[in-house]
Amino acid sequence: MKLINTKFLFSSALIATMISGCAQKTGNETYDQNQNAIIGTTLGAIAGVVLGNNVGGGSKSRNKVIGAVAGAAIGGAIGYSMDKQAKEVAQSLNTNVNNNPNAALDPNQDLIVSNTDNYVKIMFRDDMMFETNSANPTASASAKIAKINSVLQKYPNTLVQVVGHTDSRGSHSYNLNLSNQRATNVGNIIFNSGAQNQIFSRGCSFDKPVALNNSEANMGLNRRVEVYLYPNQESVIDVCK
């Protein structure tokens, strides 16, 4: 395979480091997943610049125009795919896509499916997922989480990242461990339901609240598990910042 741009390869590696380690099964056994690296395409203008600078013949400026058009098409296709996946995930969970940025502040919203052009996010509130101070999802929560697999089967190349968040009570290290355990257990449920996707887990402790930790109600908003679906490595974000 011809290497197009070493800077691009470096940026891909940098982004890859933002995805924390694989979610684990009980004990230290990691998922038995396909070990092949997933090589994602670049998005939008980035794809345009790379492609435009590598088209043979013609002027460099003309090549960049060609690349920009192709890059826009790639970005648009990925955006459409994320819209489609979000709708299918919401349908599997008997809800609707809700891209209202204030939805996470509504205590009545214990399950929120949203999307951008680069990823789908499924947010599960802590109260509907776990018993108090437990990292094990309830039976009803496990059944709901497993429903996501019906969509993932259609998109085997989608990267899945499960992220745990806590409120600020207790030490940072305690909450980091709890958030990691919860994310790992949710990732295990997705994997054990038959998903062939690469699945990663990460805990953020209380580093990324959606509300101030100044009341019981707000702390309840901050206790949550989020599942991100990415089309490729280039779309991955730092979920704890």
The mean predicted confidence, pLDDT, of the chain is 77
Instruction: For residue 57, name the pLDDT band (cuts at 50, 70, 90).
Output: low
**Ranges of H-type helices in 17-59:** 44-52
pLDDT, position 134: 85
Order of strands, sheet of 159-165, starting from the edge strand that comes earlier in the sequence: 111-115, 120-125, 224-230, 159-165, 199-203
pLDDT, position 37: 31
Distance CA 93, CA 150 (A): 10
10 Å Cβ neighbour count for 93?
19
The superfamily (CATH) of domain 82-101+108-235 is OmpA-like domain (3.30.1330.60)
Reduce the DSSP state of residue 205 to 3 states and report it. Answer: coil
Where in the chain does DSSP place strands (E)? 111-115, 120-125, 159-165, 199-203, 224-230
Q: What is the mean pLDDT of residues 133-150?
A: 91
Residue with tokens 């009570």: 169
Distance CA 133, CA 136 (A): 9
pLDDT, position 25: 39
Most confident of 20-24, 74-78, 119-123: 119-123
**Does residue 151 register a pLDDT over 60?**
yes
User: Quick one: tokens of 170?
Assistant: 């207790």
User: Quick one: tokens of 65?
Assistant: 């125009």
Q: Would you give the DSSP letter of residue 195?
A: -
User: Quick one: tokens of 29?
Assistant: 């056994």
pTM of the model: 0.70
Burial class of residue 42, CB neighbours in 10 A (0-12, 13-18, 19+): buried
Distance CA 90, CA 97 (A): 6
Q: Are 180 and 200 in contact (CB under 8 A)?
A: no
Distance CA 103, CA 84 (A): 20
Distance CA 39, CA 95 (A): 32
* Residue-wise pLDDT tens digits, 101-133: 999 999 999 999 999 999 999 999 888 788 777
